[in-house]
Amino acid sequence: MTVNIVHIQVQSQYLDEFIRATAKNHHNSVKEPGNLRFDVLQSENDPTCFVLYEAYRTEEAVFAHKKTEHYLEWRETVKDWMAKPRTGSTYHILYPEELL
């Protein structure tokens, strides 16, 4: 199982539009066959800061996600709304063991 954690900071004037675009991406991403989770988190301390927690069965499922129409649309739509470039890290889950 592969987990991607993506940190995003959005320019405040685009906050509502970013949330709508990301919701659309979320709703389509969770329907992908290799997707286990696609959580969208917003900071309580800074509403312009978000974390995407994406869990996939395999690395191939991650690559497939990055080729989907909804992901490519989201990426293009939000690119100019970022306060700074988004950053992401990939992790392999150790626990809970039943997810391995």
CATH number at residue 7: 3.30.70.100
Identify the three-state secondary structure at position 7: strand
Strand pairing class (35-42; 49-56):
antiparallel
Residue 15 lies inside a defined structural domain of this protein: yes
Domain count, the chain: 1
63 has pLDDT over 90: yes
Q: Which two tokens stand for residue 50?
A: 């978000």
88 has pLDDT over 70: yes
Interacting residues of 6 by C-beta distance below 8 A, sequence separation 6+? 51, 52, 54, 86, 87, 88
Q: Tokens 């800061």 — which residue? A: 49
Strand partners, 50: 8, 42
Average pLDDT over residues 30-55: 97
Average pLDDT over residues 64-83: 98
Residue 23 lies inside a defined structural domain of this protein: yes
Q: Is the pTM of this model over 0.95?
A: no
* pLDDT computed for residue 17 by the predictor: 98
Average pLDDT over residues 63-77: 97
Average pLDDT over residues 56-74: 96
Instruction: Identify the CA nearest to 22 among candidates 57, 55, 54.
Output: 54
